[in-house]
Structure 1
Amino acid sequence: MGCAGSSLLKGEDDVKKLQKPRPWKHPQSIDIIDLKRMRDEFWDTAPHYGGQKEIWDALRAAAESDISLGQAIIDSAGIILSNADMTTCYDERGVKYELPKYVLSEPTNLNRDS
């Protein structure tokens, strides 16, 4: 007989780690000002889609930081990554948070001349 301890079972340590998003292409060439505008609009309206504002704030901080700091933010906020690139996440209550690629990385056809 044993007790229900907190030891890991085989396969339970397969927690997804944050990874850099795959390269993607915007439907048309976009400049950095328009990309920033799209990102700001998303983050301003994201809490209205449901979920907790604190989780949205943590997701934004993680998305705007480097990979190691982003991982620390994700871990400390109790966010569960369904996709390692943060496009689909869950909080500890099971609420789903979906992030568009444009808030996570720059497109391959970003016009940097503007």
Structure 2
Amino acid sequence: MIGEHYCDFGPTLAAENLTELHDIHLSVETVRQIMIAAGYWKPKKGAAICVHPMRERRARLGELVQIDGSPHDWFEGRADRCTLLVFIDDATGKLLQLRFAPTETPLGVHAYPA
């Protein structure tokens, strides 16, 4: 059944379809094992090796300020969509400033006080 209809599906979707469409109740792990044995599914490799080692935080407040933007419908349709810009001090992890801007561009960041 799996080879006929679901050989190109993932184990979770195949198990759901077997239950809903064919009244065959198998756990996702059982379907996964069947698919691996038949060659339809390849198990995932282990966790990826971290290529970039963690770096030390900066020593002093203000030495490095990281800026991140989060585009969202912050005002739930009562205003245009915008991006929340967050200024984070690397040494302390403190939020230095939050600001709404139309987009995450240098123009939204240029007025940050030094």
Q: Which category of TM-score, normalised to the shorter sequence, fits these structures?
A: under 0.3
Report which of the two has the higher share of helix: 1
Considering Cα pairs closer than 8 Å and 6+ residues apart, tell me whether 1 or 2 has the greater RCO. Answer: 1
TM-score scaled by length of structure 1: 0.24
TM-score scaled by length of structure 2: 0.24
Report which of the two has the higher share of strand: 2
Flag the structure with larger Rg.
2
